[in-house]
Amino acid sequence: MLKRTLFISNPYYLSLKNKQLQVSERGGMVLKSAPVEDIGFLVLDHPQISFSMKLVEELSEYNVATVFCDSKHMPSSMLLPLDAHHIQSELFRAQIAASEPLKKNLWKQTIEAKVKNQAALLDKLGKNSLQLKNIAKTIKSGDSDNREGFAARIYWTALLGKEFVRDRYGEPPNNFLNYGYILLRSAVARALAGSGLLATLGIHHRNRYNAFCLADDIMEPYRPYVDEIACDLDEKYPGTFALEKEHKAELLQLMTADVKIGDNKRPLMVALSQTTASLARCFAGEQRKIDYPVFG
């Protein structure tokens, strides 16, 4: 079932009644409500939003990714359940015991899928993708010669021009990309938790200060879905620095973007769960390839 994404940007009080999230003015009437089981993402973007602990418990029960925004209105933290799968400890053990050759093979698959999807986005936008398609054929186990980095330089130049520099604090549309990637990272972390995997233990990313290394790994082939929305926003609102509600609303549509895996097309939010479930099977030795999307 397709889950809803809710964005709250006013100082409302959120509570739970009859298993429904209720949004109300402080001490006032209920403005809207939604069954918690229908919610996939809840984005909270106001410093005076308050909520009941009973609601937090219910959100956790249904594996809702609750995302909190900072004073700059950028997603900064997330609430995820600690126990989201019935055989979680078994899956954790398989993940921890994964051999180095297995992880290198999984990373090779990941980068191949990412570069192919970048090339597919360039094709869709009528830009030259030949170099990326050739690079995708030469990626080695563990991407030992960093073809990902080489591909990135070619990709951003082809996508946004020679003057564009992909940088967190850079010129637009970096701001659209930043917001979209944070949302995507949250979605991947939610899917990993639902599949019983530990988001901290990556197959490639390793950083003692990063609690979501595996999310950073698995989101790579999905980045072009963010890039497409960011490019569209950049055309509509050129030179925009401040993200307004209409920009965020379009970026939140990422969760329902059509994603094709195999012969099936489904919303990105659902596709991520298929990808992370396949990764769990790879760790368990039941499958050899991760189910990644084919952009198009």
Residues paired with 99 in a beta bridge: none
> What is the pLDDT, as a whole number, of residue 86?
58
| Mean pLDDT in residue range 284-289 | 96
- 133, pLDDT greater than 60: yes
For residue 211 the two structure tokens come to: 């609690």
> What is the pLDDT, as a whole number, of residue 85?
55
- 242, pLDDT greater than 70: yes
> What is the pLDDT, as a whole number, of residue 211?
81
Say if residues 33 and 23 touch (Cβ distance below 8 Å): yes
Cα 111 to its chain centre, rounded Å, is: 16
> What is the pLDDT, as a whole number, of residue 296?
86
Say if residues 154 and 177 touch (Cβ distance below 8 Å): no
Q: Compute the residue count for the chain.
A: 296
> What is the pLDDT, as a whole number, of residue 293?
98
Distances (CA, A) of 188 to 20, 25, 40, 219: 25, 32, 12, 6
> What is the pLDDT, as a whole number, of residue 246?
93
- 210, pLDDT greater than 90: no
Greatest Cα pair distance, the chain, in angstroms, is 62
Environment class of residue 292 by beta-carbon count within 10 Å: exposed (0-12), middle (13-18) or buried (19+)? Answer: buried
pLDDT in tens, 72-101: 888 888 887 766 555 678 888 999 999 999
> What is the pLDDT, as a whole number, of residue 84?
59
| Mean pLDDT in residue range 27-39 | 91
Q: State which amino acid sits at residue 47.
A: P
C-alpha angle 83-63-80 in degrees, rounded to nearest 5: 65
Environment class of residue 279 by beta-carbon count within 10 Å: exposed (0-12), middle (13-18) or buried (19+)? Answer: buried
> What is the pLDDT, as a whole number, of residue 95?
94
pTM of the model: 0.89
For residue 187 the two structure tokens come to: 């979605």
- 1, pLDDT greater than 80: no
d(CA 222, CA 225) in angstroms, rounded, equals: 6
